[in-house]
Structure 1
């Protein structure tokens, strides 16, 4: 399976919660918290559900709660998908 990319994350974020401000996810936002980007906990939970279904993985609640930024979530998803892809 191909790595989970920033464009994958952006697409699923827009699908799960919409984007109130066009271009909000553009630029250097990988280390900005989801809450600072305007995504509440419900939007992030919806995002996690979409990722799990699309990537056929199960993310543990405690690890998901630690992934507060897009970069952390990308790293988490890619670490889960790595062994399954091999």
Structure 2
């Protein structure tokens, strides 16, 4: 089975689907360590993104960990944790 990991491009696609993009925000820049609130995404948008990811990837995300992920880098790590665990099983 090919390894499947969640990438920044995946996150950008999901965020656009879940909440669009705020005017004046460039998601194509170096955003890995930019706080979500600076990017125009609030907790509700991130929860919606988490729901979309759970359905698409067939995983369950820790809601508290999603809430604590304040940057794209942290969010990607939260998503990749269960993906890595599932692959190891």
- TM-score, with length taken from structure 2: 0.86
Within a 5 Å distance, the mapping from 1:47-86 to structure 2 comes to 47-86=49-88
- TM-score, with length taken from structure 1: 0.89
Residue 10 of structure 2 aligns with which residue?
8
Runs in 1 of length 4+ with deviation above 3 angstroms?
A: none
Question: Post-superposition shift, 1:66?
Answer: 1.2
- Mapped pair 1:36 → 2:38: yes
Which structure 1 residue ranges, 5 or more long, are not aligned? none
Structure 2: distance between partners of 1:26 and 1:72: 18
The count of residues paired between Structure 1 and Structure 2 equals: 86
Compute the RMSD of aligned alpha carbons.
1.5
Which structure 2 residue ranges, 5 or more long, are not aligned? none
Question: Post-superposition shift, 1:22?
Answer: 6.6
